[in-house]
Amino acid sequence: MPTFDPFAPNADRSIPVNTPTPVDGEVVLVDYDPAWVQMYEAEAAIVKRALGEKASLVEHIGSTAVPGLSAKPCIDILLAVADSADEDAYLPQLDAAGFVLRMRHPDWNEHRVFKSERINVNLHVWSIGSTEIERHLTFRDWLRTHPDDRDAYADAKRRIAAGHIGTMSDYAEMKNEIVAQITARMQAG
């Protein structure tokens, strides 16, 4: 039975792109750790040095970016580039900086995911202007300023994580219902 180590970088270069990360059991969630901010800052600095002006936007997203929210100990970073489909414009520099391409989603706003060789990071890449950028930043900011929704999200994540999860992609999809509920409250105002 494969096990998922939430602290491992998970940047194995031998794993083919678009291979889901196996869990085959429960997802490990831990209490919020203020050190996540420094971990983000260190990895973001590496991205910015590698890409220079090509890194139009670099932001800490996901649960580790929300103080008080339990999370998988994996730092999610949003990177906006001119055209995420044009991998030749940024992939070689990220690869040289220790980021390994793991997922390619051309049907989802040309989304790409890289893993770091240093710590457990999901580096999400979208094109400037992608609706996913605003969606992720708005959701993060809402959870930072609305503790009731932050706690509801945490409770839902704990229930989901305690079940039998096949892959990390399955876990992400299982959170869609609570994300939709919170998004509806955000839009209602």
Q: Tell me the pLDDT of the chain averaged across its residues.
A: 92
Tokens in use for 174?
Answer: 């299982």
12 domain residue, yes or no: no
7-21 residue pLDDT tens: 566 667 777 787 888
**What is the four-CA torsion angle of 71, 74, 80, 85, rounded to 10 degrees?**
-120
In a domain, 15, yes or no: no
Residue 125: inside a domain, yes or no?
A: yes
CATH classification at residue 82 = 3.30.460.10
Domain count, the chain: 1
In a domain? residue 71: yes
Q: Is residue 37 part of a domain?
A: yes
- The answer to whether residue 106 is domain-embedded is yes
Give the residue numbers spanning the domain of 174.
22-188
For the stretch 101-117, pLDDT in tens is 999 999 999 999 999 99
What are the pLDDT digits (tens) for 122-134? Answer: 999 999 999 999 9
Residue 16 resides in a domain: no
User: Do residues 168 and 29 touch, judged by C-beta distance below 8 A?
Assistant: no
In a domain, 9, yes or no: no
Can you tell me the distance from the alpha carbon of 72 to that of 61, in angstroms, rounded to the nearest whole number? 13
Please list the alpha-helical segments (H only) found in the chain. 35-51, 91-96, 131-145, 147-161, 168-174, 176-188
Whole-prediction pTM: 0.92
- In this structure, are residues 70 and 154 in contact, taking their beta carbons and an 8 Å threshold? yes
Mean pLDDT along residues 56-79: 97
Looking at residue 7, its pLDDT comes to 55
Q: What integer pLDDT is reported at residue 173 of this predicted model?
A: 94
